[in-house]
Amino acid sequence: MTSSPEHSTIISETTCPLCEEGAKSHLQEGSIMIGYIHSTESFGTVDGPGVRFVIFFQGCPMRCLYCHNPDSWQIRTQQAPAGTPMTAAELLELYERNKEFYQNGGITCTGGEPLMQMGFLTELFSAAKQRGVHTCLDTSGIVFSESRLAEFDALTQVTDLVMLDIKHIDDEKHRELTGHSNAPVLAFAQYLSDKGIPVWIRHVIVPGWTDSEAEQDALGYFLGGIKTLKALDVLPYHTMGVRKYESLGIPYPLEGVPAVTPAQAGAAREVILKGLKRRLRDNILGKQ
């Protein structure tokens, strides 16, 4: 989930069978929990603060039209193996090899969708915190459910930062863009706010999909209600993932859609911030 951000501090709908399968996608061999990993990156610089060891989890229920990691979609099942089996200890051993470079960074788990393997993710972050490592979760939040609050509570206790990707503020367009409602995503953002977990929002500007000023303003207005918002990244849509689709024999959904320039992403960010500030003003007036 990496791209060059404009940054500043401050499938199908229904109950998804993939989500249900993903909840079982981490297995235990004896007393050791196993996670399924797509790949790792030793020196990530756009996946949270500082230089970071980035872990890409295998499996995702979303089918975002602009996804540039379609090779991470497949969820591991007995019939369709996917991802490399690894333990938390093995991943932390990879981190330790270059830990001197991570003094102001830490570990970021992305994907795919890490929350598909929440038990393993929690174990990994717990072990990392025991070593004093800063933990960051990069997620779409799509699997959030109030029925699993105990699991999310356990995870957030060992999570220092959540980078939440909000694909679209409008529910219908979110469904068209990703195959899913945005209700779990927005509920997760509010949950993180209520829990006091720092949140770093990411939003991609895609021509014809997320470039409406009205929608950007609405997103900003929603973000103004997130008390723990620490940063906003507005990312320009790019076409660097097209070759992956070709190599996998998958038609690219946004064929012909032009890439967005950093200047366009910056302008969109300003619109979002105006909506955010309007919400903050309304919050203040509402308390008077």
CATH code: domain of residue 54: 3.20.20.70
Residue found by looking up tokens 């004093």 in the block: 132
Instruction: Quote the pLDDT of residue 288.
Output: 55
Instruction: Quote the pLDDT of residue 28.
Output: 52
Instruction: Quote the pLDDT of residue 283.
Output: 86
Q: What secondary structure, in 3-state letters, does 146-173 show? A: HHHHHHHHHHHCCCCEEEEECCCCCHHH
138 domain residue, yes or no: yes
267 domain residue, yes or no: no
Q: Which of 194, 208, 242, 259 is nearest to 4 (CA)?
A: 259
89 domain residue, yes or no: yes
Q: What secondary structure, in 3-state letters, does the chain show? A: CCCCCEEEECCCCCCCHHHHHHCCCCEEECCEEEEEEEEEEEEECCCCCCCEEEEEECCCCCCCCCCCCHHHCCCCCCCCCCCEEECHHHHHHHHHHCHHHHCCCEEEEECCCHHHHHHHHHHHHHHHHHCCCCEEEEECCCCCCHHHHHHHHHHHCCCCEEEEECCCCCHHHHHHHHCCCCHHHHHHHHHHHHHCCCEEEEEEECCCCCCCHHHHHHHHHHHCCCCCEEEEEEEECCCCCHHHHHHHCCCCCCCCCCCCCHHHHHHHHHHHHHHHHHHHHHHHHHHC
Instruction: Quote the pLDDT of residue 7.
Output: 40
Cα 236 to the center of its chain, rounded Å:
16
Instruction: Quote the pLDDT of residue 18.
Output: 41
175 domain residue, yes or no: yes
> What is the Cα Rg of the chain in Å?
18
- Gap between the Cα atoms of 102 and 100, Å rounded: 6
Domain encompassing residue 83: 6-205+229-259
223 domain residue, yes or no: no
Structural domain count of the chain: 1
105 domain residue, yes or no: yes
Instruction: Quote the pLDDT of residue 240.
Output: 85
For residues 144 and 188, the answer to whether their CB atoms sit within 8 Å is yes
Burial class of residue 288, CB neighbours in 10 A (0-12, 13-18, 19+): exposed
Read off the pTM: 0.88
List average pLDDT for each run of 10 residues in the chain, which is 288 residues long.
42 36 49 90 93 96 90 76 90 96 94 95 98 97 96 98 98 96 98 98 97 97 98 94 88 93 98 97 81
Token pair, residue 104, equals 């102001």
- Gap between the Cα atoms of 71 and 73, Å rounded: 6
Neighbours of 280 (CB within 10 A): 15
218 domain residue, yes or no: no
- Gap between the Cα atoms of 56 and 78, Å rounded: 21
129 domain residue, yes or no: yes
- Gap between the Cα atoms of 68 and 184, Å rounded: 22
